[in-house]
Amino acid sequence: MSVQELEQIFNDKIENEVRIEPRDWMPEKYRQTLIRQISQHAHSEIVGMLPEGNWISRAPSLKRKQILIAKVQDEAGHGLYLYSAAETLGITRDQMIEQLHSGKAKYSSIFNYPTLTWADMGAIGWLVDGAAIMNQVPLCRASFGPYSRAMIRVCKEESFHQRQGFETLLVLSKGTDEQKAMVQDAIDRWWWPSLMMFGPHDSDSQHSEQSMKWKIKRFSNDELRQRFVDMIAEQVKLLGMTLPDPDLKWNEERQHYDFGPINWAEFWNVVSGNGPCNKQRLDARKKAWEDGAWVREAAVAHAEKRATRKEMVAA
């Protein structure tokens, strides 16, 4: 079959919402863009364990500690589902790790911000996981089978993350003046970076158009960002808190919230490596990989020993 015919079959599948599976013919660019997106999504989950992992040892109660540990473990699992999906496209785990460590592969810029107080745990669960959910629900219908299946699994688990975050803030918002101030401060620091999670304006988004044509992406950055603002602007009222945006206002005509301008200089700075914690995050990942080498080697040696022992018993 000619390339044109194969391409036609591929395009027909996309058109008819038939999922593309790993061994189906696909344009090389489709494969590469998926490898990039899925591996970066996986890296985001793993790096995302770091800002919250920071507070496990200092959670205010055993219950909160258990909940935070469970959430961070979930993020590890999400990373693994996504690495698994990416590997079906022909890239290996070692290659992906190397790309992360060399800076060739990116991860979500939100994780380059520091977690300064316990209330940050609540703000992250509510705002950051909330934004992630907004982005991930449409991905459950991404055209590539393994990616959409991984996303379905992730979304089921993600809703606990958002609920525990909001609940953490709710409890604090009914506490002392100090606790209330801590909540407001966390919201003030995490709000704008959460909006940046949706990426640049549609007009500045490099990959969006092709991703939408191939039905990897279903909604535009700006569309998802607007939905998120509308949702959070209502939820924040239940906390008795405010969002740090003087321009945030319900627009009766549009039936949406108007909001202020995003600091794009900050966004591009953080994406390109100049955020507050970029170096820290990458150093932590590299150290974990290097310090863990003996574990990987020991596991192989142990497996071989086990196999030999089994053979000897059988003999």
Partner 1 sequence: MNFLRKYYYGDIPGENLGGGKSSEAKEWPLWEVFIRSKQGLDHKHVGSLHAADAQMAIENARDVYTRRQEGVSIWVVESKFIHASNPDEAESFYEPSNDKVYRHPTFYDLPDELTHM
Task: Provide the binding-site residues for partner 1, judged by CB under 8 A.
Answer: 1, 3, 21-25, 28, 73-74, 77, 80-81, 84-85, 87-88, 90-94, 146, 149-150, 153, 157, 296-297, 299-300, 302-304, 306-307
Closer CB to partner 1, residue 79 or residue 122?
A: 79
Closer CB to partner 1, residue 94 or residue 252?
A: 94
Report the 3 state secondary structure along the chain.
CCHHHHHHHHHHHHHCCCCECCCCCCCHHHHHHHHHHHHHHHHHHHHCHHHHHCCHHHCCCHHHHHHHHHHHHHHHHHHHHHHHHHHCCCCCHHHHHHHHHHCCCCCCHHHHCCCCCCHHHHHHHHHHHHHHHHHHHHHCCCCEHHHHHHHHHHHHHHHHHHHHHHHHHHHHHCCCHHHHHHHHHHHHHHHHHHHHCCCCCHHHCCCHHHHHHCCCCCCCHHHHHHHHHHHHHHHHHHHCCCCCCCCCEEECCCCEEECCCCCHHHHHHHHHHHCCCHHHHHHHHHHHHHHCHHHHHHHHHHHHHHHHHHHHHHC
Question: Are 133 and 155 contacting, i.e. CB atoms less than 8 angstroms apart?
Answer: yes
CA 155, CA 152: separation in Å to the nearest integer? 5
The distance of closest approach from Cβ of residue 138 to partner 1 in the complex, given in angstroms and rounded to an integer, is 21
Residue 31 amino acid letter: R
The distance of closest approach from Cβ of residue 84 to partner 1 in the complex, given in angstroms and rounded to an integer, is 4
The distance of closest approach from Cβ of residue 196 to partner 1 in the complex, given in angstroms and rounded to an integer, is 30
CA atoms in the 13 A half-sphere facing the CB of 63: 3
CA 245, CA 242: separation in Å to the nearest integer? 8
Closer CB to partner 1, residue 156 or residue 201?
A: 156
Closer CB to partner 1, residue 66 or residue 92?
A: 92
Closer CB to partner 1, residue 25 or residue 219?
A: 25
The distance of closest approach from Cβ of residue 19 to partner 1 in the complex, given in angstroms and rounded to an integer, is 12
Question: What are the phi and psi torsion angles at 251 (to 5°)?
Answer: -110, 105
Closer CB to partner 1, residue 84 or residue 269?
A: 84
Closer CB to partner 1, residue 56 or residue 262?
A: 56
Closer CB to partner 1, residue 86 or residue 229?
A: 86
Closer CB to partner 1, residue 75 or residue 120?
A: 75
CA 309, CA 315: separation in Å to the nearest integer? 10
